[in-house]
Structure 1
Amino acid sequence: MIFSLPFGATPAADGTHFRVWAASASQVDVVIYQDGSPAAAYPMRPAPGGFFEASVPGVGHGARYMYRLNGADDRPDPASRSQPEGVHGPSEVVDPARHPWGDADWRGIPIEQAVIYELHTGTFTPEGTFDSAIPRLAALRDLGVTAIEIMPVADFPGQRGWGYDGVSLFAPSRAYGGPEALRRLVDAAHQQGLAVILDVVYNHLGPDGNYLRQFAEHYFTHRHSTPWGDALNFDDVASEHVRAFFVANACYWAAEFHLDGLRLDATHAIQDDSPTHILAEIAASVRAIQPPGRHFILIAEDERNQPRLIRPPAQGGYGLDAAWADDFHHQLRVALTGEREGYYADYTGSAADLAATMRQGWFYTGQISAAMGHPRGQPADGCPPSAFVYCIQNHDQVGNRAFGERLGHMVPPEAYRMASALLLLAPHTPMIWQGQEWDASTPFLYFTDHHAELGRLVTEGRRKEFARFAAFAGEQIPDPQADETFLRSKLRWAERGQPRHAQTLALYRDLLALRPSLPQGSFNAQPLGPDTLALRRSDADRELLLLANLRGAARHPLDGQWQVLLSTEEARYGGAGAATLADGAASFDGPAALLLRRVG
């Protein structure tokens, strides 16, 4: 993979070359730190476009440095590869060539083979580090997962957080072990046959430790606004340098960490009126550096249901592989829980609407959204099912609840099993949230580690946000700043051996073992009455039928002869036999799924 980071600290045999875009400064020095204090300062020479450069002999891997702006303030490198003392401290020179990679034959996976497992490094294991995740990879491989998706790791203030307040975009968080530990995790994942996708945030930076404006005011623009303030500047004065910064970031993760894909956070909040959208430029650039036969997956999180995200450039699209399609989650959540507050008011949870969602990829294709107050979405005709990432839980849908409740906390086990089968046997790209495979008992709460004043505002804002909802009236929302909030969110791996959890784990293993052998030809989803969905998958010589009963009792006569391949109500999964095939009809006593194969 041919890529060289065009700025930051680049170590060489005789020293290190430093390069930074600091168009708002008239003078920049690179300051070498020793024992926590400035030891030597080296003037940087101006270069075209607002850049400053300097080569410093005798400085190599592990050296600490900062940039001094206009003879006054020392600031960390915007392109720092490591921040060992936190986002306000000195940056560290890192030689990316030092890691002895063992994945020379690895080629990644195409989106069609992706079974994604989303995880948060800090809560995935008791230790909460990259290295401590490595021993758990074999369990994910044996489960049937093909890719892990790691929530953002770009360094952030404090020791804990979700990662969406990152400010050092090139520096894997020291709280998780830093850059070399991330390389070890990726290398180990590849040895297990697992791809690694990283969640990155290109729509804003966090409020604490964001020094970009001090280097160049044109990192941001007043032309657009976002929920976090002024937008990042992808289409205003000097935007070519901002675009280059983020394009380089995407390429950096691919080249220096051998990552297999990126999940792009909240792309609906990336404002860009340029002829070539920044997302399209990122996609083209990161693919251009891949060697022949190397797969790299790009996934957007985007609430707009816009097919241009996932269409190829030849069809006027941005060339991403897939997009999160939350309509599936929302329809199923409404069907199982009856929730109707907030954006759930846009969904009925009927079998007909769920079937339409699965046929179309997403439900909203231009209808007016009552929650948004305007039309939402466009038809995605011609886009393959793999371009839609489906889930029944993710970090948002769990963690943005007041008490971090998982789906298993809210629905009976039989409904949980049915929803799991529908997710994992559909042709769309499935994503599993950490611990979902055993119906983990632990919540996933919203937690932060900001300084006292910002932390107070975050806590107050969180509690004010939920005061609007009737379900939380008078309840004490967990304090995001409290250690306990974070610690409660850590998975308890030992509970996988407990009977109820082990039964759910067995179901997930069996469903994912079936998935690669399912027909890859046509599929269709149709309602059978108001509460049962029929999903047919077929190829030249096979036809499979998944019947998912959302609620209540139902009986459905079937055409032809069928054989049961799997029932979510089998005793080994914790079921009570409430789904049967007899006398040419499928019968259900409640929520359940039956996977059938036509035999005549």
Structure 2
Amino acid sequence: MLGATLSGTRCQFRVWAPAAKQVLVELEGPSSRRLPLVPIEDGYHAAEVDGISAGQLYWYIVDGRRLPDPCSRFQPQGPHGPSMVVDRHAYRWRDGSWHGIELAGLVLYELHVGTFTEEGTFAAAAKRLAHLRELGVTAVEVMPLAECPGRFNWGYDGVDWFAPSHHYGDYDAFKAFVDAAHAEGIGVILDVVYNHFGPDGNYLRCFSPHYFSQRATEWGEAINYDGPHSAAVRDMVIANACEWVREFHLDGLRLDATQAIFDDSPRHIIAELTAAVRLAAGGRRVLVIAENEPEEATHLLPVEEGGQGIDAMWNDDFHHSAMVAATGRREAYYHDYLGTAQELVSASVRGFLYQGQYYPWQDQFRGAPLRGSPSQCVSFLQNHDQVANSVTGRRLHQLTSPGVFRALTATLLLGPQTPLLFMGQEFAASAPFLFFADHQPELARLVHEGRRRFLSQFASAKSADGQAFIPDPADEATFRRCKLDWRECTADNPTLRMHRDLLRLRREDPVLRGQGRRGLGGAVLGEHAFVLRWYDDGEGDRLLVVNLGRDIREQPLPEPLLAAPPGRQWILRWSSDHVDYGGSGTVDPVPGRGWLIPGQSAMLLTAVRCGEQRP
């Protein structure tokens, strides 16, 4: 095992440095000492040292250069400081009856520990878990935690992959958070970055240049998964993934930007990692979810069928279409989405919108056929990237009308896909979410310039006033503006009421809970109106009617999905226009022989036997 492994008072130090002539471990403290590591097979160096206890600070001396351990388990002074020996077995777990999570019924909630609460710690975040349970969340997806430079960061600049950020608590603090989540019936998935290392505090090249390949990602050097000496690199990455699951009792991983994990090996690193993680979990059920910008749905297939065996993938298509429907704007990567009812039906029923068609924005073909179910698509109206990919970092409820926001929320939370909420979305948080990363002055300047260049793909952000307004990622004020104000999350908050009610319907309704496994259809009623229909002969069909446009009144609607099953009638079950949600009042859509579908609304109907009372 790489890093420092403590057993009683004896500690093994192990590092991979294949070209090093001499590696020492330097132990800090009153009796500071340097001890040699012995070269062993395949470029590793190791030594066992007596008289070590948890909390011991140490460095490696590699051919005379003093360096932190690249596989350190904790960096109490950040990535440039000494590494710390930890006792990985000191924490006393209380989750013995926890058996993990499944994709069926999953409701995800993405959060950034540093901005989720004012304190920005694991302990403070744990105090909000009861709220998430009452909301209906079944798993939190925590943005990356690996140690980063600076006082604040999104987490994607991680350099010490085995070490939870010291800004959020000590080594055991994340374990306590996971334990508390499990006590509330909530799983924990961690966002991990295996496509690049951050630009500052990354000392891996000092140990070996073979950690990196000749290829590059848009964020830095790509990792060597298939070149010379890549076996040790692969072993380290798989060990890291397994350690998060085994040592921290995590319920899954979200793999960041897998299109930038380059590997031409006979067995792709993602397939190998996925299999290893499931073994590391023992008897617990774990999930591996990928972010893959090209939406290569074949990765969802089992390895024996040419896939990578992952469980689910983020579905940007649903978000992009919903954003165009909500705002009418088609800048930058929204270019190839129209926001029509047809797109929202297809995204709900078929998952990805691009499954091999030509994609003009990138001048290439995009996606691959989805052979599984829509539940393998993690869909969202907000996430960290999509909120921040704008000049102001405003949220959807601030960009569209209340009615459209409620209707799209119903489409997401009642639909067959796996929904993801972004922190604060459930109570219409006023806090923006902006890109922030604290770096040394020169790097901070380059990062700010890079952010301006990235956002210039949006015509509005490319303007002189737009460029001038883009916040400095290294300014602490940028970071602090993103902290949620929990005083807004009150019992009478109409948006919170709506989210709770919708997630209760999703969880308790026997038809919706099946996510369309007994049959699912969709149809367009107009450019901005559509229906989704769940089939169930026993419980009765369900019909979700969504109208993002104007009222539809007493006009022919020659659409068979609107017809109730023989011997049954449609009864209104839920409406986004309810006054409790800030609406203007519920309207019965089938008052007589025609249909009355209010504009900017969503309604759920249940097919009951004629003469039955309302459910």
**Using a 3 Å threshold, how does the CA distance of structure 1 residues 576 and 58 change in structure 2: closer, same or farther?**
same
Letter in 2 for 1:484: A
1:113 Cα shift?
A: 2.3
Evaluate the alpha carbon distance shift between residue 468 and residue 317 of structure 1 in structure 2; reply closer, same or farther with a 3 A threshold: closer
Please state if 1:448 is matched with 2:437.
yes
Paired with 1:526 and 1:131, the residues of 2 have a C-alpha distance of 47
Tell me the CA shift for residue 306 of structure 1: 1.3
Matches of 1:283 and 1:143, distance apart in 2: 30
| Residue of structure 2 in register with 1:78 after alignment | 70
- Letter of the structure 2 residue corresponding to residue 323 of structure 1: M
Pair 467,268 (structure 1): closer, same or farther in 2 beyond 3 Å:
closer
Shift in Å at residue 599 of structure 1? 1.7
**Structure 1, 139-148 or 452-461: larger mean CA deviation:** 452-461
Whether contact under 8 Å (2:547, 2:598) holds in the other structure is no
Give 1:585 shift.
Answer: 4.2
Corresponding residue for residue 525 of structure 1: 522
Name which of 562, 570, 574 aligns with 1:566: 574
Q: Give 2:544's match in structure 1, choosing from 531, 546, 562.
A: 546
Aligned counterparts, 1:151-166, within 5 A:
151-166=143-158
Provide the secondary structure at the position in 2 that maps to 1:490: coil
Residues 1:217 and 2:214 aligned together: no
CA positional deviation for 1:256: 0.5
Q: Which of the numbers 329, 344, 365 marks the counterpart of 1:354?
A: 344
**Residue by residue, what CA displacement relative to the aligned partner does 1:78-123 show, whole Å, maximum 9, x if unpaired?**
1111000110111111111100100001011101121000000000
Equivalent AA in structure 2 for residue 389 of structure 1: V
Cα deviation, residue 73, structure 1: 1.3
Q: Cα deviation per residue 1:374-412 (whole Å; 9 max; x = unaligned)? A: 00011112x122211000100010012221111111011
* Deviation per residue, 1:174-222 (Å, 9 max, x gap): 0111321101100000000000000000000100011111111110111
Give the 3-state SS of the residue equivalent to 2:494 in structure 1.
helix
Segment drifting more, 56-65 vs 309-318: 309-318
The C-alpha deviation readout for 1:325-373, integer Å capped at 9, x for no partner, is: 1100111111111111111011111111221222221000111111111
Which one-letter code corresponds to 2:262 in the other structure? Q
Aligned ranges 1:483-498 → 2 under 5 Å: 483-497=476-490
State which of 193, 216, 219 in structure 2 corresponds to 1:201. Answer: 193
Relative to structure 1, the CA distance from residue 49 to residue 509 in structure 2 (aligned partners, 3 Å threshold; closer, same or farther) is: same
Other-structure match for 1:22: 17
Length, aligned pairs only: 587
* Equivalent of residue 584 in structure 2, options 570, 576, 580: 576
Q: Residues 585 and 233 (structure 1 numbering): CA distance in 2 closer, same or farther, change over 3 Å?
A: farther
- Alpha-carbon distance in 2 for matches of 1:291, 1:217: 34
Unaligned runs of at least 5 residues, structure 2: 610-615
User: How far did residue 414 of structure 1 move?
Assistant: 0.9
CA RMSD of aligned residues (A): 1.5
The one-character-per-residue Cα deviations of 1:516-571 (angstroms, maximum 9, x if unpaired) are 22412221222122111211112341210111112222247532320111000001
The corresponding residue for 1:256 is 247
User: Given the superposition, is the C-alpha separation of residues 395 and 244 from structure 1 closer, same or farther in structure 2, using an over 3 Å criterion?
Assistant: same
Residues 1:595 and 2:604 are matched in the alignment: yes
Query: Cα offset for 1:498?
Result: 8.2
Partner SS for 1:506: helix
Q: Distance in 2 between matches of 1:159 and 1:487?
A: 11
Percent of aligned pairs sharing the same letter: 47
| Cα 1:46/1:432, change in 2 over 3 Å | same
Offset at residue 467 of structure 1 (A): 4.5
- Shift, 1:61, TM fit: 1.0
Helix, strand or coil: the match of 2:167? coil
Structure 1 runs (4+) greater than 6 angstroms displaced: none
| 1:596 partner SS | strand
Which SS does the other structure have where 1:111 is aligned? Answer: coil
The corresponding residue for 1:87 is 79
CA positional deviation for 1:259:
0.4
Matched, 1:373 2:391: no
- Which residue is equivalent to 2:258? 267
Give the alignment partner of residue 395 of structure 2, picking from 388, 406, 421.
406
Distance 1:184 1:460, change over 3 A: same
User: Normalised by the size of structure 1, how large is the TM-score?
Assistant: 0.95
Q: What is the aligned partner in structure 2 of residue 3 from structure 1?
A: none
Distance in 2 (alpha carbons) for counterparts of 1:128 and 1:229:
28
Tell me if the contact between 1:579 and 1:586 (Cα under 8 Å) persists in the aligned partners.
no
Alpha-carbon distance in structure 2 between the residues aligned to 1:477 and 1:463: 7
Give the structure 2 partner of residue 179 of structure 1: 171
**1:12-49 CA-partner distances (Å, limit 9, x unpaired):** 123200111111311100111127xx921100000110
Report the counterpart of residue 329 of structure 2 in structure 1: 339
Which of 412, 415, 426 is 1:426 aligned to?
415
Alignment map for 1:381-392 (pairs within 5 Å): 381=371, 383-392=372-381
CA separation in 2, counterparts of 1:52 and 1:296? 33
* Whole-Å separation in 2 of the counterparts to 1:559 and 1:198: 44
SS in 2 for 1:548: strand
Other-structure match for 2:103: 111
How far does the alpha carbon of each residue in 1:107-157 deviate from its partner, in whole angstroms, 9 at most, with x for none?
Answer: 111011210000000000000000101110000000000000000000100
SS at match of 1:356: helix
Confirm whether residue 439 of structure 1 aligns to residue 447 of structure 2.
no
Distance in 1, Cα, partners of 2:598 & 2:375: 32
Q: Distance in 1 between matches of 2:204 and 2:402?
A: 49
Partner of 1:320: 310
Q: Distance in 2 between matches of 1:116 and 1:126?
A: 22
Taking the aligned partners of 1:518 and 1:550, their CA distance within structure 2 comes to: 27
Aligned match of 2:231: 240
For residues 28 and 91 of structure 1, the distance between their equivalents in structure 2, rounded to whole angstroms, comes to: 16
The alignment status of 1:41 with 2:31, answered yes or no, reads: no
Amino acid at match of 1:515: R
Tell me, yes or no, if structure 1 residue 146 matches structure 2 residue 138.
yes
**Correspondence for 2:183:** 191
Which consecutive unaligned segments of at least 5 residues does structure 1 have? 1-5
Secondary structure at the aligned position of 2:14 is classed as strand
CA contact (8 A) 1:120 1:162 kept: yes
The answer (yes or no) to whether the contact 2:147–2:159 under 8 Å persists in 1 is yes
Moved more, 457-466 or 541-550: 457-466
Q: 8 Å contact 1:442–1:490 — kept in the other structure?
A: yes
SS in 2 for 1:319: coil
- In the superposition, the TM-score normalised over structure 2's length comes to 0.93
Q: Distance in 1 between matches of 2:85 and 2:9?
A: 14
Moved more, 92-101 or 475-484: 475-484
Residues 415 and 578 of structure 1, relative CA distance in 2, 3 Å threshold: farther
What corresponds to 2:161 in structure 1?
169
User: Which has the higher mean CA deviation after the structures are superposed, 531-540 or 296-305?
Assistant: 531-540
Provide closer, same or farther for how the CA distance between residues 54 and 437 of structure 1 changes in structure 2, counting only shifts above 3 A: same
* Separation in 2, partners of 1:467, 1:384: 36
Contact 1:78/1:211 (<8 A) preserved? yes
The one-letter code sitting in structure 1 at the alignment partner of 2:546 is: A
User: What does residue 534 of structure 1 align with?
Assistant: 531
